[in-house]
Structures are given as structure tokens and as C-alpha cells.
Structure 1
Amino acid sequence: MTARYDGQAEWYDEYIGSNAHVTTQDIVELLGPGEGPCLDVGCGTGLYLDAIRSTGRTVAGLDRSADQLRLARRRDPAPLLQGDATALPFAAGTFGTVTAIWVSTDIPDFAGLLREAARVLRPGGRLLFYGVHPCFNGPHIESREDGAVIIHPTYRIKGWHKRSPWWRQGGVRDRVGMSHVPLADLMNAFVDGGLAIERVYEPQDRPVPSVLAVRAFRPV
């Protein structure tokens, strides 16, 4: 099983790890206190496993990239599995919580991920999505140094993008590309997957939000 981040894991861990404390604070706040098993889908190098554990939950992680999991195992003692986020190797109703952090841009079938997340959640279980804001962060966006963004008329071109003229050379998107899920598709994927949206957030204090978070649950 190969993945786009195989061969990039050390670089990516250092790249995203430099700002991981901001995401960590948001995740802890948005999750709130809890208990029981939590699955971190697309756990990558395990940067957020301990933060999830700090909320009182017992955490396990899954990722497609063997290289990323190798680093995650060095970092955290949580059970970690290599697998497909759209075909989770767990029985229905296994988890009380599922987290999906920075995954919508890396998994071509985001709707499939949410369907599987809903399946493995217990009735009443919670899902936290935290990722790229599709309106203001993507292949259609040209960022300026003053915090403003230029939105180019390619927003509706969904799916996988290998290149964008506005990506920073040598950055994560320039290296691995990204999947763009327009806002309507992203939000509808929760509903179509059998999840009820509880709250939507635009975390952090940037003038133009680059992050979107959604808290949802599986109806009883």
C-alpha cells in the first residue's frame, strides 16, 4: 500500500510540526472533555494523538502512509494501523469519537471517509473535522503577504490538483498536490453520510479564515 506522503514523512513532520501547537489547542477546545475510544483517521505522523488523549479519550490512529506511521510509532504509544480511510477495518459502532484532521485535501473520496466514520461511530458518537477552508484555501487561492487572498475563477474545479500557479514552491501542496472539495460538497458529505451537523467553526484569528472545523454526531 503506497501513499503520497511516503518518502515525504520526515520533511512533512518538520514542516507541519512547527505550527502544530495551534492546531493542538483548537482540537482540545473543539473536542471538549470525553471518554471512550477515539479513532484519528489520517493520523499521519501522530502529531495530535496525545492532544486527543488529553481530553480523556483512548486514542487509536489510522493512516495510509507507512512512512508517516513509522514516525507516529516513534512519537506515541497509541495503537496504529495502516489502512484506507474509506474502508475502515473496524466493526460498526466501535468508537465514541472520530477525528479527521487535515484530511479533506489528501483523500480523494472525502464523502467516503465520512460514510465510514459514521458507520464506525456509536449512536450519539461525535465526529470532529478540522481542515482546510475550501473557500479561502485551495488551488484557486492566491495569498498575499498582508493576509488578503485573491480568489481566482477556478473554485468549482473539484477533485485532485497536482499543480497551481499560486502554490509556494517547495511547500506541501507543491510536493504532494491536493484534493479540492467545494464548500457545498463538503457540507453535504456530512448529511449524505448519515451525520448530523452540530456546529461549524472558522478557528484562529486570521482576517480571512484558512481553517474550517465541523462538529457532527451520529444520530441515535
Structure 2
Amino acid sequence: MSAAHGLFVTFEGGEGAGKSTQIRLLADALRARGLTVLMTREPGGSKGAEAVRHVLLSGAAEPYGIRMEAILFAAARSDHVEQVIRPALAAGSVVLCDRFMDSSRVYQGVTGNLEQPFIEALERVAINGVVPDCTIIFDLPASVGLERARKRAGGPGEQPDRFEKEELQTHEKRREAFLDIAAREPLRCRVIDATKAQDTIAAEVLAIVEPLLPVGALSHQEHVS
């Protein structure tokens, strides 16, 4: 486990895969059982990381190149880990995080064409030993995910972010990269068919997480929006 008492679960996948919805459903189910649940996200999740999130998703860092973006993601992750995730795990919370280190491996490493040693070095510094106990990868065709994401972006006040605007081929390459990670790390990663009905997916997620739940988790509720 990532810490002596808590449980760290990360949710990964392409754009429009439904991660945020499933995190909320899982959090509700676990809180109903009296567990302490911390919901969080990347980039973001802590005060410093949320400031960096705007820079990254707005595209403001894009002119400076993919290497700079990767460094900014790592800086945000380091703050998130040390200020939020590690303390929550030490307190016995179940931490549910929308994206984590695997997104950097895929987005900046595979489709950003950054060399693997550079990505691995950034990851080591950023996570500082805090590795997810379980990573759930939501898999669906990139075309389906993009359609969902763009419909969402069509809502009031919503615009496609820096990554949603990219080409279909790039998104499909990311899908394959997430599946490659799952194949290489089967003990940590589980793949779910994200084309299924929302309730079906929620049941599958709970079935994956339930056997991993820490004993004696606290009942105080925490939430990072």
C-alpha cells in the first residue's frame, strides 16, 4: 500500500471516458459505508497545483514546448502529493484521484515524444514513493470519447481544453498507450470497458476496489473540488 493505513486509487483513460462521474459514484458508495473518502484530481488538487492547472489546460504553456509542460505537470503533482495525498493516506482515507502519473507517461511521454528516462526521472521526483495501490483504466474508442468531451464542452461556460482539441489519431495512440501500461502492470492496473452503461461500470469499479479497502477507515468526509 502507498501508506500505512489508507488506500490510493487512480482513475485513468482518454478524454470523455467518464472518469469524473465514476469517481463520484464510488465516493458516494464508500461514504455510505462510513469510510473517509478524499476526491481529488490532476492537474490540480492542491492550492499550488490548481494554479498550475489553469496554465496547462488553457494552453498558455504550450508555446514553451512539451518539455516545459511535463515539468509543470511534475511540479503540480509534487505539491499535490505532499500537501494533500500523502497526509490523507496517513490519516487512513481512501483517496480517489482523477488522473495521476500514468497520464504523464501517456500524454507527455508517448504522444509528447519525450524520452523515457526524462519522464521516469520527473515521475520519481513528483510522486516521491506514493504509488497508487490500484489504477482503473477506462477504455473506449477515441472517437466516442472525443464526441462525449466535445458535447460536454458545448455546455454553458465550457470550452475544449488544450488536449481535447488534438487530432483523433493522437487520442487513439493514447488509448493504446494506457492499455500497454495495464498489460505491463497487471497487479496495479485494471481495465474497464467504458462503453457500458454507467451503473454497470459503477458496479465493476466497486467490485475492484472493495477487496482493497483499508480496515478501520475513519468516517470523517473530505472533498477536494
TM-score (norm 1): 0.36
More strand by share: 1
More helix by share: 2
